[in-house]
Amino acid sequence: MATVLEQRLLTAEEYLKSSLDDVPTELVRGRILEMNRSYTAHGYFVARFIYILQRFLEGNDVGRIVGGDAGVITERNPDTVRGPDVAYYSYERIPRGSLPEGYWPSTPELVFEIRSPDDRWKDIMKKVGEYLSAGVVSVAVIDPQAQQIQVFSSDREATRLNADDQLTFPDTLPGFSVPVKNIFE
């Protein structure tokens, strides 16, 4: 359950400068919310997913992967800054070269959230909706307990993938394909 740490409304820029480094937080509608600490398995799946995506990008130089809850502005006035577990930005959205400072000026094409045992689906779905409304093309929610992945996009019905299925993003990452079971190894 999230706890409000700041009563006055902050902008994304003020939030970026806040000094709560030892506490996991997100900015939601202008208020800093303390988030639950991640389980060790959560970190494993974040690293696993970054590894799988990075291997693909090594042979297909089309964009960048970020992790570690790097902030994404999903709403303005009041501002919301979410921290996806993993995100993919194509070079079309964030061009090659020097990385922008602060929060990047574009949303990622893909966001990956790892569901922890105490995450409520209601809260996950709220984040999914925010990402899609902000311009993210697809959001994949990885559920290690169920060993399933649900993929959401603004122009298609949600898809539930099981161990025997392939995870693909043909419109965003053409050629990327990984068996779902490989993610949970």
Q: Per-residue pLDDT tens for 56-106?
A: 999 999 999 999 788 899 999 998 889 899 999 999 999 999 999 998 999
C-alpha gyration radius of the chain: 16
CB within 8 A of 159, min separation 6: which ones?
A: 150, 151
Q: Per-residue pLDDT tens for 108-144?
A: 999 999 998 888 899 899 999 999 999 999 999 999 9
pTM of structure: 0.89
Q: Domain coordinates of the chain in residue numbers?
A: 38-183
Q: At the top level of CATH, which class does the domain 38-183 belong to?
A: alpha beta
Give the angle subtended at the CA of 152 by the CAs of 179 and 59, to the nearest 5°: 45
